[in-house]
């Protein structure tokens, strides 16, 4: 069974079409990237799959569950991290992890294990006990990635997970994503950073103006278009549309 099946997904806001019939499948344990420029429809797609937004038409299935018909069941097996996600600034990192862990279990031992996992995932050392309001953007993002992955969800949906991060924090986040995919978590992420995504995604869907214009493994796409990177692939695919 596919981890995610998206078929003919469309979303319109009045006279503006955010999505124009997007279709793709994501395999279990795969890191699948939706890549394209800002406004291409990536976030809209992720929000629909996350049950936060209803499509105008089309379907999205997560582990056999229709997101429109069984949103509560879908939410039990996914984790969604928006690009602009925030955390409670007056809590310490450890307190935030503990607070979020309580939403997932009431069992004392499971709760202890979950908090321990989150703290370890964040990799903030002694700063885990500092107030979040004192964190840099990179530190906050590491904490939020830890929150998203500490439950080992079937599907982790990450919107621009490394956006605005420096090299060190971005490298850390990429490694954590790859580590959890190896453990069995399926990862669906979006990014406009094509040069970064080609190194961590098993397959990608190039999106432009609400449509999937190409899809495959990064190396296959680069060979197909005789391109040195995905950015060049995107420019080649879209040159006649500009």
List, run by run, the mean pLDDT of 10-residue segments along the chain (242 residues).
Answer: 96 90 96 91 96 96 97 96 88 96 91 95 96 94 94 95 88 92 95 85 94 95 95 88 56
As beta bridge partners, residue 155 has 78, 186
* pLDDT value of residue 217: 97
Name residues whose C-beta falls within 8 Å of residue 146's C-beta, 6 or more positions apart in sequence: 97, 118, 119, 121, 122, 123, 176
pLDDT in tens, 41-87: 999 999 999 999 999 999 999 999 999 999 999 999 999 999 888 88
* DSSP output for 115-161: HHHHHHHHT-GGGGGSBGGG--HHHHHHHHHHHHHTT--SEEEEEST
CATH (residue range 4-238): 3.40.50.300
The token pair at 22 is: 């997007």
CB-based burial label for 59 (10 Å; 0-12, 13-18, 19+): middle
CA-based torsion, 67, 72, 74, 80: positive or negative = positive
CB atoms within 10 A of CB 154: 19
Backbone angles phi, psi at 203, to 5 degrees: -140, 160
* pLDDT value of residue 165: 87
3-state helix, strand, coil in the chain (%, to 5): 40, 25, 35
Helix orientation angle between 108-122 and 93-101, rounded to the nearest 10 degrees: 140
CB 141 within 8 A of CB 120: no
* pLDDT value of residue 242: 53
Separation between Cα atoms, residue 65 and residue 196, nearest integer Å: 31
Instruction: Give the position of tokens 């995932």.
Output: 121
Instruction: Give the position of tokens 């969800």.
Output: 153
* pLDDT value of residue 199: 86
């Amino acid at each position: 069974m596919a981890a995610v099946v998206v078929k003919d997904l469309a979303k319109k806001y009045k006279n503006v079409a955010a999505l124009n019939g997007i279709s793709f499948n994501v395999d279990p344990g795969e890191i699948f990237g939706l890549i394209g420029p800002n406004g291409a429809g990536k976030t809209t797609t992720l929000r629909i799959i996350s049950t936060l937004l209803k499509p105008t038409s089309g379907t999205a299935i997560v582990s056999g569950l229709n997101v429109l018909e069984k949103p509560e069941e879908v939410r039990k097996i996914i984790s969604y991290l928006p690009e602009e996600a925030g955390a409670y600034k007056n809590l310490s990192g450890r307190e935030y992890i503990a607070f979020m862990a309580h939403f997932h279990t009431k069992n004392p031992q499971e709760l202890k294990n979950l908090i321990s996992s989150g703290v370890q995932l964040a990799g903030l050392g002694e700063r885990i006990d500092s107030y979040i309001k004192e964190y840099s953007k990179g530190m906050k993002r590491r904490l939020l990635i830890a929150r998203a992955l500490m439950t080992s969800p079937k599907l982790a949906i990450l919107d621009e997970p490394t956006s605005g991060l420096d090299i060190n924090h971005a490298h850390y986040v990429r490694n954590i994503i790859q580590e959890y995919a190896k453990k069995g978590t399926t990862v669906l992420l979006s990014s406009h950073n094509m040069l970064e995504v080609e190194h961590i995604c098993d397959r990608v869907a190039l999106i432009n103006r609400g449509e999937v214009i190409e899809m495959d493994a990064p190396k296959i796409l680069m060979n197909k278009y005789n391109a040195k990177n995905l950015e060049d692939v995107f420019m080649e695919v879209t040159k006649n549309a500009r």
